[in-house]
Amino acid sequence: MNTVIFRTAAPLIVATMLVFSVYICLRGHNEPGGGFIGGLIGAASIAVFGMASGVPAVRRALKVDPLAIAGFGVLLAGLSGLLSLFIEAPFMTSIWLYLDLGETVVPLSTPMFFDIGVYFVVFGTLSAIALALESDREEDL
């Protein structure tokens, strides 16, 4: 599997997949996509990266432990729900903010942060599992 072609092409594929995963995550509110599917694509890219460059390289590139990313996701999703307490509304009431940047209007919302949290959870958990499995194999073989 570790052919030169794969190792050369892998970084390109990984980068494309990662960007695409973020795009899928962010557009999810109005078009097919969302945090869950985005996270899956991201995790798949990490799995590919691990196969091509070896797990230690991926861990170095990620800087943080993938499980910590997942934990941050749960935290972010939970906190986005807590924001509604400041407007004296029940937990997880969505709040919308439309930023007018002249040409376009950027909608920011608590569900968006929630979805980003979902992305991190799925991305982090699956990457952690994939990397653990791959490193296991490396040490075995």
Partner 1 sequence: MGLSLDASIALVALAPFLAAILAPFIHRLAGSYSAWILAIAPAGIFMLLIRLGEPVVGGGTIAAAIDWVPSYGLTLAFFLDGLSLVFALTIAGIGALIVLYAGAYLKGHPHQGRFLGYLLAFMGSMLGLVLADNMLALFMFWEATSITSFLLIGFDHNRQAARRGAIQALVITNIGGMCLLVGVILAQHLSGTWLLSELRGLEGVLKESALYVLVLALFVGAAFTKSAQFPLHFWLPNAMEAPTPVSAFLHSATMVQAGVYLLARMTPVLGGTDVWTGLLVAFGGVTLIWGALGALKETDLKQILAQTTIASLGLLVLLIGLGSEAAIAAMLVYFVAHACYKAGLFMVAGAVDHGAGTRDITALGGLADKMPVSFIGAALAALSMIGLPLTVGYFAKEEMYLALVGGGWAMWLVLAVLVTGNALLAGVALVVMVKPFLGDALPVPKSPHEAPVAMLAGPILLGGMGVVAGLLPDWLGHDVLAPGATAILGHGVEPHLTLALDLASPLIWLSALTWLLGIVVFRQAYAIRTVLRRLSAGLGWNADTVFDAVMFGLIRFAASVTRFLHHGKLEHYLVLVFVVLAVALFWPMLALGGFDWIVPTADLGDWSKRLVLPDLRPYEWGVVLLAVLGLAAVLIAQSRLIAILSLGIQGTALALIFLLFGAPDLAFTQLMVEILSVVILTIVMTNLRLDARDHRPFEDWARDGTLAVVCGAGVSLLLMLVLSGALDTRLSDFFTATSVPIAHGANIVNVILVDYRGFDTLGEISVVMGAGIAILALLRRRKKAEGVGP
Nearest approach in angstroms of CB 12 to partner 1 is 18
Tell me which DSSP letter residue 87 carries.
Answer: G
* Dihedral in degrees, nearest 10, Cα atoms 36, 37, 41, 44: 60
Q: How far is Cα 102 from Cα 83, in angstroms, rounded to an integer?
A: 27
Q: Which amino acid is at 129?
A: I
Question: How far apart are the two ends of the chain, measured CA to CA in Å?
Answer: 14
Residue of 11, 18, 22, 34 that binds partner 1 (CB under 8 A): 34
Asked if 38 contacts 25 with a C-beta cutoff of 8 angstroms, the reply is yes
Tell me which DSSP letter residue 33 carries.
Answer: -
Residue of 61, 78, 82, 85 that binds partner 1 (CB under 8 A): 78
Residue of 10, 14, 33, 58 that binds partner 1 (CB under 8 A): 33
Q: Is residue 62 within the footprint of partner 1 (CB under 8 A)? A: no
Q: Is residue 107 within the footprint of partner 1 (CB under 8 A)? A: yes
Tell me which DSSP letter residue 64 carries.
Answer: S
Residue 15 or 108: which CB sits closer to partner 1? 108
Chain positions contacting partner 1, by CB under 8 A: 24, 28-37, 40-41, 43-44, 47, 67, 70-71, 73-74, 77-78, 81, 91-92, 94, 96, 107, 109, 111-112, 114-115, 117-118, 121-122, 124-126, 128-130, 132-137, 139-140
